[in-house]
Structure 1
């Protein structure tokens, strides 16, 4: 009796937590002046859902290296973000092309003009005096600081730049020298001593990735690569105004029908699956926010597809359970055997889909990549909810006595069928 009460309490607690998470995600709330925003306010929408400008740029140089492509990407990202756009997407396509998606803006000429102009890198003293320009910098590299174990950006200057820098660091000891790209400050560091020899380091006290980005921007400013627009397309906001609500409606109807099917066909076990599916949808949308997924129409399609994948795992398990019940096993034994027998099929089918999404991600571009990322996130989370959450909920329901006979699974046994463990 004690175990039954404990299982019932735990089951209620889990369902309450899932319900709270779902409510917070879909409705949002305000508590003590702090707002927890709902999904529709924080998930980034792509151009096809809110309109904007998409520009495909191409580097005008043969045999572009991966480092040059990355530097150009970071340089373009910095430029377009100066336009005041919060949700800009800058991604490489192929060996020398970069796509820039700017949501919410319609002036494509202004955007293209901003992207194609040459870079202007400069080092300035605290009084605004220009010390170095991009032509004085040979190379910038992210590296480890041998003294404190942190990361920094190492600079290598040419002969003329080395002399200028030695003079400036001697003058500005104890003060900051700042680096600007297109008149926007990208770094500022204190001068501890005069630096000669043409080599210097910028201590940023930041991660390796951040130091790589800074080095890339310095290299992009120091060695600007000419770029040219290959294609420019304007996407009207009218499409998103119609497509997004319709997609949400289709999703609600589809999920509602799935819930009804699971309840009708699997009874109480189906109810547990619906609770787990609610958690799956909520966790997936939270993951989109954390990962920074930009939701597009193909992404919505992938998300709805993964809901079907998540349900499929439950159906495989439940059908196996029903088979064991028809063989005469007790409810508890049938649930255990059903989970064990369905495990390999669930893992195999999901791994196949995950592999397909990885291939799409690495060989695809643009909307195809978005579809693949959404699919991958959904599959990983569906494995967790299908193999762990549903199993826990059903087992707790069995132990608490909520599920205690075959009819709770939609199974009718003939008279004389024996039960065995």
Structure 2
């Protein structure tokens, strides 16, 4: 092995600072960017990486893990006793069946595909179930294998070009539903297969709304892969916004909504970069799109609507690490009319992040309790929620430690 080969951060012995530097470099992140995300100086980061400062205390370690999108805390600490999943949640019991359905390619079969209208109704019911069920992964995980197989068959057996385009749109929709199930589970390669196949099927459908949904999910997958992938997220996002622009004057509500959702996603990525002006500018343009929708409209995939813009404002403020602004936006947001249980839970998690940034740990835990009531599986698979619970379990306040420990047990982080 050459002397300049990149060391493996998972091989012992490697000091904490070295692991931090290796993981930061692999993410394509500069010391200045990491320092900004942590509220530290670039000199502090350099001293930790160089071993001149000891490993920080757990709350700071967790923030480093969050910034570097570390899947398991032991990857950063080197201590296998701290093997706690952060941004990769537990593997769901239904994941193997969903994986098998996605990986299969029917080329010859004696089974007849269901009518497209029937498949469309089943997909609509699956989306409705995802929004209404507290354990939504379990529900859609049971539905997905047959939906994927039948949509694949519909494409294979289409009798006309029009039917084939329609079937490709339904297959893309099935892949979109799959991405919600697979996200934050321990199979990144499967996630990317779904993202790419969803985009290809969407393009084959030639349907603007289907293309917008697939692009929205692809942008999220790129952004959640870390700082080095933000440009890729912007590329697919902004290209799709440009593609949809000519359709907007006479667009349906669904097309208007996906165009608005894409604009917010561009702001979300800007906020992750720390670009305050761009983040809020895109939020403003997304809100203008939401105002064009009926008051009771709610997009079946993205949850884009008028009420969700308040939740989006909290997210922008949190990603900009503005604790006071996060709390102010949380107080101003009227999210009681959001019908989706997982989306309400996600908003509560964002509230919890904001309250913790503002130094209100007890209120943050209360917000996570509300998130758990809305959709337990959303909390169980969310890295931000797990990081807050771990940090508050180290609180000097006995009641906060107790409440955090109880929540850790409920979401499966610790054994009862």
Q: TM-score range by the shorter chain?
A: under 0.3
Higher relative contact order (CA 8 A, sep 6+): 1
Indicate the structure (1 or 2) with the bigger Cα radius of gyration.
1
Q: TM-score, normalised by structure 2?
A: 0.25
More strand by share: 1
Structure number with higher helix proportion: 2
Structure 1-normalised TM-score?
A: 0.25
